[in-house]
Amino acid sequence: MPTPSKSLKAVRGTRDLLPPETALWNRVESIARSVFSRYGFGEIRTPIFEDTQLFARGVGEETDIVSKEMYTWSDGDRFSEKRIIDEWVRVNQSDNPAYVQAGRVNIQGNPPFLAKLKELGIQLQVWRGVQAANGLTGHVELVSFRPGVSADAIDRLMKARELAKSDPESQTQRFAVRLRLVIPMDGELGPWVDKRDVLVEPLAGKFFDSAQSLTLRPENTAGVVRAYIEHNLGDTGQLQKLFYIGPQFRRERPQRGRYRQFWQIGVEVLGPVTSGSESPLRDAEVLEMLATLLDELGVKNWRLELNSVGSSTDRPRYVAALREALAPIKHQLCEDNQRRAETNPLRVLDSKDPNDQALIDGLPKIADYLDDSSRDHFAQVRAALDACGVPYTVNPRLVRGLDYYTRTTFEFTVPSSGDPASGLGTQNALLGGGRYDGLSEMLGGPRAPGIGFAIGQDRLILTLQALAESNKSGTGTEPGAPGLASETWVQKLDAYIAPLGAERNAAALALARELRRSGLSVEVGDGAFRLKKSFEAADRVARHIVILGEDELASGILTVKTFATGEQTKIAHADLAQSLRA
């Protein structure tokens, strides 16, 4: 086998997550699941790829995500088996089912036998012949319909004929049985395939559906709403409170905390208006839950920024005013913002380009374009947050550029690169979300107001690791905060069993099995290790080491050392599990 010219590595913008870091990821997800369950949320799992139109219609064709960042491919033409069968039957079937016409067929077959044919991929059994004075003359045909000729298709037809001759349910033993493979006129003829005595019939017609465009999900809200519509969840009349944890994909320039495959923890709350899905209370509850989650994760000094982008009628008025205000100054903006000014003006407000900030600050504020209903909704959200003691700051520039957002939008940030506990550099946004009252209707579903958010899990992990390191080194702003470095999430095993000599390996494994079945976590060493090496290995992974030598096996009294205290004791085999739990 030739030696590879270079080693294979993870694709740029992706990465492997390894222990002990994965312990931190698992702990974060466990805390998130615990918090979500207290608020009545259930988990939803949607496919990681969807029809491209879902994102084009839901997220917006002019957004950066859809126009530049999606991983999209054509799934290839799809063969329509039903269409080619219907056309072949139309062309070949006898006009009179009770009478066999020359050059035509009558569809026949005993249902139990036809079911066996279908298992082999043979779709039809027909009679081809003529009406003669003394009865029928002709033969039985087994017909398969495929996109092209293949060895598998030929083999299945041959097996079907053997079955027809041997199975009494076929009722064809007295007749000749011939084989026919029907393919599209432009199907693959497979000249290299031994067709044996199978008649291959190309059939004219359009039997391939157009290729489907598929996309790896760049975000998950659209997929959740698609599932809500597809499974008629609105028919329950209940508020749907759903959460998800999983990977998303965007073709972005990789940087710290931003990857092309990245992970999100998200929540969506939606339902018919009668379920209360439109209520400001839902917005406030989601935000209060987020504050609880970040607190329980140990994230310090988070900041909630809040705004309203108005209703589906407010927003177009504001966008029109924004376009008008941008027209005379857009040539002074950076190249990205010049493009956004034309395609999606709201995205200009999200710009972090320092040279554009003065111009952006002078643009119209959306608060001046809200109708009374939107103002009242936003006021009720803020009042509920005040009642819960959740601090926030109104940021009039927070609009979020995705097409589906309406009314409440929000973002949680952490301190910027000036604080060593950030971990995110200048990109300090930790999570964001908002209300999307019209998204279900945009996707062809019923009215289902909703609100949701997505946490960038990669960025959250960086923040927790930075907090832990700053606290560990004494530079953190919150001395005494819980340590959150990856290794601190790894709980040591209960015990490490060290057999003294290879001949005691089997006994060590048996003891480990016993302890594990009692609920303890156990690692087994190797009798070939020197005792010093066993102690070093045990100290790294376990709280106790259990020494299993000849004397211990003979007496049933085991030597156990506890690393935290340095204490070494003798413990009876029967008491070992209870002692290790202490």
pLDDT tens for 299-328 read 988 999 999 988 888 888 888 888 888 888
State the Cα–Cα distance between residues 563 and 544, nearest whole angstrom.
6
- Final residue belonging to a domain, choices 147, 175, 209: 209
pLDDT (0 to 100) of residue 433: 93
Q: If residue 562 lies in a helix (H) or strand (E), which one and from where to where?
A: strand 557-562
State the Cα–Cα distance between residues 402 and 435, nearest whole angstrom.
11
CATH code where residue 563 lies: 3.40.50.800
Asked if residue 337 is part of any domain, the answer here is no
Amino acid sitting at position 94: S
Asked if residue 405 is part of any domain, the answer here is no
Q: Is residue 250 within 8 Å of 456, Cβ to Cβ?
A: no
State the Cα–Cα distance between residues 51 and 229, nearest whole angstrom.
15
Amino acid sitting at position 328: P
Q: Is residue 551 within 8 Å of 526, Cβ to Cβ?
A: no
State the Cα–Cα distance between residues 313 and 437, nearest whole angstrom.
12
Q: Which of 211, 212, 225 is nearest to 57 (CA)?
A: 225
Asked if residue 561 is part of any domain, the answer here is yes
Is the pLDDT assigned to residue 481 strictly greater than 80?
no
pLDDT (0 to 100) of residue 59: 72
Q: Does residue 57 share a domain with residue 83? A: no
Asked if residue 483 is part of any domain, the answer here is no
48-to-5, 16, 69, 142, 504 alpha-carbon distances in Å:
33, 18, 15, 40, 49
**What's the mean pLDDT in 206-220?**
88
- Final residue belonging to a domain, choices 163, 190, 209: 209
DSSP state, residue 91: H
Q: What is the largest CA-CA distance in the chain?
A: 105
Asked if residue 322 is part of any domain, the answer here is no
Is the pLDDT assigned to residue 445 strictly greater than 80?
yes
- Final residue belonging to a domain, choices 209, 227, 247: 209
Q: Per DSSP, which regions of 114-273 are E strands?
A: 124-132, 135-145, 177-184, 199-203, 208-209, 213-216, 240-249, 261-270
Is the pLDDT assigned to residue 483 strictly greater than 60?
no
Q: Is residue 298 within 8 Å of 481, Cβ to Cβ?
A: yes
**Number of domain units in the chain:** 3
pLDDT (0 to 100) of residue 554: 92
pLDDT (0 to 100) of residue 195: 87
> Cis peptide before 97, with omega less than 30 degrees from 0?
no
Q: Does residue 541 share a domain with residue 497? A: yes
**What's the mean pLDDT in 409-426?**
66
Q: How confident is the model at residue 132 (pLDDT cuts 50, 70, 90)?
A: low
State the Cα–Cα distance between residues 241 and 485, nearest whole angstrom.
32
**What's the mean pLDDT in 167-191?**
85
Asked if residue 290 is part of any domain, the answer here is yes
Q: Does residue 226 share a domain with residue 174? A: no
For the stretch 512-566, pLDDT in tens is: 999 999 999 999 999 999 999 999 999 999 999 999 999 999 999 999 999 999 9
State the Cα–Cα distance between residues 470 and 300, nearest whole angstrom.
12
Q: Does residue 422 share a domain with residue 297? A: yes
The residues near 449 (Cβ < 8 Å, ≥ 6 apart) are 270, 271, 273, 277, 278, 435, 436, 437
Asked if residue 170 is part of any domain, the answer here is yes
Q: How confident is the model at residue 73 (pLDDT cuts 50, 70, 90)?
A: confident
Asked if residue 500 is part of any domain, the answer here is yes
Is the pLDDT assigned to residue 98 strictly greater than 70?
no
Q: Which of 256, 287, 266 is nearest to 463 (CA)?
A: 256
**What's the mean pLDDT in 165-185?**
90
Q: Is residue 237 within 8 Å of 272, Cβ to Cβ?
A: yes
Q: How many CB atoms lie within 10 A of CB 173?
A: 11
Q: Does residue 230 share a domain with residue 203? A: no
Structure tokens at 360: 């952006």
Q: How many CB atoms lie within 10 A of CB 207?
A: 26
State the Cα–Cα distance between residues 456 and 492, nearest whole angstrom.
28
The count of residues in the chain is 582
Strands 135-145 and 124-132: antiparallel
Q: Which of 141, 149, 161 is nearest to 88 (CA)?
A: 141
422-to-413, 427, 454, 461 alpha-carbon distances in Å:
10, 10, 19, 11
Strands 177-184 and 135-145: parallel
Q: Does residue 424 share a domain with residue 299? A: yes
DSSP string covering 21-63, please? HHHHHHHHHHHHHHHHHHTT-EE----SEEEHHHHIIIIITTS
Q: Does residue 188 share a domain with residue 89? A: yes
State the Cα–Cα distance between residues 454 and 219, nearest whole angstrom.
9
Q: Does residue 149 share a domain with residue 256? A: no
State the Cα–Cα distance between residues 164 and 166, nearest whole angstrom.
6
Q: Which of 243, 158, 250 is nearest to 452 (CA)?
A: 243
Q: Is residue 277 within 8 Å of 239, Cβ to Cβ?
A: yes
DSSP string covering 269-331, please? EE--GGGTTT-HHHHHHHHHHHHHHHHHHT--S-EEEEEE---TTHHHHHHHHHHHHHTTTGG
Q: Does residue 88 share a domain with residue 168? A: yes
- On the CB side of 406, how many CA atoms lie within 13 Å of its CA? 22
Is the pLDDT assigned to residue 507 strictly greater than 80?
yes
User: What is the pTM for the complete model shown?
Assistant: 0.73
Q: Is residue 486 within 8 Å of 23, Cβ to Cβ?
A: yes
Q: Does residue 87 share a domain with residue 205? A: yes
Amino acid sitting at position 284: A
Q: Which of 189, 367, 257 is nearest to 13 (CA)?
A: 257
Q: Where is mean pLDDT largest: 99-103, 455-459, 490-494? A: 455-459
State the Cα–Cα distance between residues 235 and 272, nearest whole angstrom.
8
Structure tokens at 552: 């211990």
Calculate what percentage of the chain has a pLDDT beyond 90.
Answer: 55
Q: Does residue 204 share a domain with residue 147? A: yes
CATH code where residue 259 lies: 3.30.930.10
Instruction: Round the CA-based radius of gyration of the chain to a whole number and report it.
Output: 34
**What's the mean pLDDT in 105-114?**
87
State the Cα–Cα distance between residues 394 and 401, nearest whole angstrom.
17
Q: How many CB atoms lie within 10 A of CB 176?
A: 10
For the stretch 355-413, pLDDT in tens is: 888 888 888 888 888 999 999 999 999 999 999 999 999 998 887 666 678 899 999 99
**Domain with 224 in it:** 21-61+216-309+410-468
Average pLDDT in the chain: 87
Q: Does residue 304 share a domain with residue 417? A: yes
Structure tokens at 476: 């953190």
